[in-house]
């Protein structure tokens, strides 16, 4: 498919131009072929009018648990430990493959409608998420969350099978990594086994680190060191590492993250709602660490709205640091695009709109009262845009939403089935 997006304002996130006032984007097959003047020599099958629209890279949700949409607004107003142990884990034990299939599709509908084109998921029954990814046309990293219990070896084998069956599928839109859940749910030996599997598969690690003060205090008591120093000493950081949260980290932890090129994922909505705290995003960015952005699951947020996370990242850090220049709009947008691509080890292909990169981009309709006047477009993306302003979503060169109509999924059926499965789950 060849597409021309005409007369568009472009926020390329390429590190050079914050905004190109008016240009034309040619997409051929699944790549960005040309950005600039109209090319008579390029044949196009589809022309999109870019008037009153902004093009930017698709948003990347670098940490989530998309099957948890079935548990949205199910367990609220609890701190992480109680939330997990008293409500979430007992209910998750009753989930089946079908539940995860419909819950994941519901999350994919929400993500597409909010301009998310790629995500990194950590859950179980991950084949169901793979099926959803193939159907939806989104891009994603599948990781089977590994909480050590009497099924630990089975879960490790599930990860090996997941990699064999899904890595690189969907025309390269799907990847698989290894996900030891956290240092407080995995013994040192199991963490090392997970790392060994990641090295065997030549893939990365996806892990929760230093989310709460309790986690860090318990780690100090048990191991005499922070969670980050603990996994560093175990050698876990010697492979590509996506570290969700990194809230309670000290300067030594940040130095380790810089030295080992760890990709922390800031989940401001989840950290606020679970009263986990405020990650030192500005400090990590200033140390050259590519902090990415995520929503965590929609049961601890309670949505998957990445424009909301961009806004939170841009305003929380200003208040926390008492510095109005902290995490400016462009930095918050980088967290949700190019830094997310780096975290998913995909930045050669996605995360910015550049020649030769994959055509993962979104068009935002700025002909809305809450987006006038059109002063600073980059500011509007961090301080005014709403998820519902996303008009068109293109992934791998394929239009998966146009004029807010999703082309690849049956939204009404998904809403019905997700509701049915969620209600059945609670009755089980
Ligand atoms: N309970 C299943 C699935 C584990 S996947 C990932 C796990 O992370 C849990 N989770 C969701 N959000 C968070 C978070 O913010 N911190 C830690 N764990 C979380 C989620 O509920 C799920 O249990 C099993 O043991 O096989
Ligand atoms: Zn999480």
> For residue 426, what are the contacts with CB-CB under 8 A and spacing of at least 6?
74, 91
- Ligand 2 center–CA 363 separation, angstroms: 29
Residue 20 confidence (pLDDT): 97
Q: At what angle do helices 152-166 and 126-136 cross, to 10 degrees?
A: 20
Distance CA 128, CA 85 (A): 25
Residue 247 confidence (pLDDT): 98
Residue 298 confidence (pLDDT): 97
Collapsed DSSP state (helix, strand, coil) of residue 3: strand
Helix (H) / strand (E) element for 417: namely: helix 411-427
Distance CA 327, CA 316 (A): 9
Point out which residues pair with 265 in neighbouring strands.
244, 292
Question: 12, 353 in Cβ contact below 8 A?
Answer: yes
Instruction: Among 84, 194, 295, name the best residue to mutate to test ligand 1's pocket (greatest count of ligand atoms within 8 A of Cβ).
Output: 84
Distance CA 176, CA 159 (A): 8
Q: Whose CA is nearest to atom 19 of ligand 1?
A: 84
- Ligand 2 center–CA 146 separation, angstroms: 12
Rg (CA), the chain: 21
- Ligand 2 center–CA 297 separation, angstroms: 6
Distance CA 379, CA 15 (A): 16
| Alpha helix (H) residue ranges in 359-410 | 377-383
> What is the CA angle 3-338-271, rounded to 5?
125
Q: Which residue has the tokens 């290894």?
A: 178
- Residues touching ligand 1 (Cβ under 6 Å) are 65, 80, 84, 88-89, 92, 122-124, 145, 147, 181-182, 208, 211, 270, 296-297, 300
Closest atom of ligand 1 to CA, residue 300? 12
Collapsed DSSP state (helix, strand, coil) of residue 123: strand
Q: Which residues surround ligand 2, an ion (CB under 5 A)?
A: 296
- Ligand 1 center–CA 81 separation, angstroms: 11
- Ligand 1 center–CA 145 separation, angstroms: 7
| Predicted-complex ipTM score | 0.98
| Alpha helix (H) residue ranges in 234-368 | 251-259, 268-273, 281-286, 306-320, 329-336, 338-343
Distance CA 292, CA 332 (A): 9
DSSP annotation of 137: -
> For residue 291, what are the contacts with CB-CB under 8 A and spacing of at least 6?
263, 264, 265, 266, 279, 281, 284, 285, 335, 339
Question: 146, 90 in Cβ contact below 8 A?
Answer: no
Consult the annotation and say whether 375 binds a ligand: no
Distance CA 411, CA 116 (A): 16
Burial category of 165 from C-beta neighbours within 10 Å (exposed 0-12, middle 13-18, buried 19 and up): middle
Please count the CA atoms within 13 angstroms of the CA of 391 that sit on its side-chain side.
16
Point out which residues pair with 208 in neighbouring strands.
244
**CA dihedral (165, 171, 172, 177) positive or negative:** negative
Point out which residues pair with 244 in neighbouring strands.
208, 265
DSSP annotation of 250: -
Over residues 338-369, the pLDDT tens digits come to: 999 999 999 999 999 999 999 999 999 999 99
Burial category of 153 from C-beta neighbours within 10 Å (exposed 0-12, middle 13-18, buried 19 and up): exposed
Counting as low any pLDDT under 50, the low residues of the chain are none
Consult the annotation and say whether 149 binds a ligand: no
Nearest to 360 by CA among 154, 58, 62, 121: 58
Question: 156, 190 in Cβ contact below 8 A?
Answer: no
Consult the annotation and say whether 296 binds a ligand: yes
Consult the annotation and say whether 230 binds a ligand: no
> For residue 61, what are the contacts with CB-CB under 8 A and spacing of at least 6?
111, 116, 118, 119, 120, 293, 294, 295, 304, 306, 340
Consult the annotation and say whether 144 binds a ligand: yes
Distance CA 19, CA 21 (A): 6
What pTM value is reported for the model? 0.98
Helix (H) / strand (E) element for 98: namely: helix 97-113
């Amino acid at each position: 498919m060849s597409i021309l997006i005409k007369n568009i304002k472009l926020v390329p996130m390429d590190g050079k131009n914050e905004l190109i006032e008016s240009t034309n984007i040619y997409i051929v097959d699944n790549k960005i072929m040309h950005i600039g003047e109209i090319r008579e020599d390029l044949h196009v099958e589809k022309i999109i009018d870019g008037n009153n629209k902004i093009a930017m890279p698709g948003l990347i949700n670098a940490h989530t648990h998309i099957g948890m949409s079935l548990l949205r607004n199910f367990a609220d107003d609890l701190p992480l430990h109680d939330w997990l142990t008293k409500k979430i884990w007992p209910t998750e034990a009753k989930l089946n493959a079908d539940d995860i299939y419909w819950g994941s599709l519901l999350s994919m509908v929400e993500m597409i409608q909010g301009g998310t084109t790629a995500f990194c998921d950590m859950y179980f029954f991950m084949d169901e998420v793979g099926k959803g990814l193939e159907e939806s046309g989104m891009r994603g990293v599948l990781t089977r969350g590994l909480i050590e219990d009497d099924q630990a070896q089975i879960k490790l084998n599930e990860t090996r099978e997941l990699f064999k069956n899904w890595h690189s599928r969907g025309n390269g839109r799907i990847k698989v990594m290894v996900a030891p859940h956290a240092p407080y749910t995995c013994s040192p030996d199991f963490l090392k086994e997970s790392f060994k599997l990641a090295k065997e598969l030549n893939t990365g690690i996806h892990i929760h680190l230093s989310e709460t003060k309790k986690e860090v205090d318990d780690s100090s008591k048990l191991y005499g060191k922070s969670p980050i120093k603990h996994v560093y000493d175990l050698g876990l950081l010697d492979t590509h590492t996506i570290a969700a949260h990194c809230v309670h980290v000290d300067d030594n932890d940040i130095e380790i993250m810089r030295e080992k090129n760890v990709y922390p994922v800031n989940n401001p909505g989840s950290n606020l709602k679970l009263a986990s705290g405020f990650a030192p995003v500005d400090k990590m960015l200033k140390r050259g660490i590519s902090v990415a952005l995520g929503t965590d699951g929609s049961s601890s947020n309670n949505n998957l709205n990445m424009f909301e996370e961009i806004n939170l990242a841009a305003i929380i850090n200003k208040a926390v640091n008492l510095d109005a220049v902290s995490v400016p709009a462009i930095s918050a947008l980088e967290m949700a695009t190019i830094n997310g691509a780096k975290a998913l080890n995909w930045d050669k292909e996605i995360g910015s709109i550049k020649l030769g990169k994959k055509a993962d981009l979104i068009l935002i309709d700025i002909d809305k009262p809450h987006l006038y006047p059109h002063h600073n477009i980059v500011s509007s993306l961090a301080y005014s845009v709403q998820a519902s302003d996303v008009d068109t979503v293109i992934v791998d060169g394929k239009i998966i939403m146009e004029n807010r109509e999703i082309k690849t999924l049956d939204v009404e059926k998904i809403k019905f089935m997700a509701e049915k499965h969620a209600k059945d789950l609670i009755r089980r």
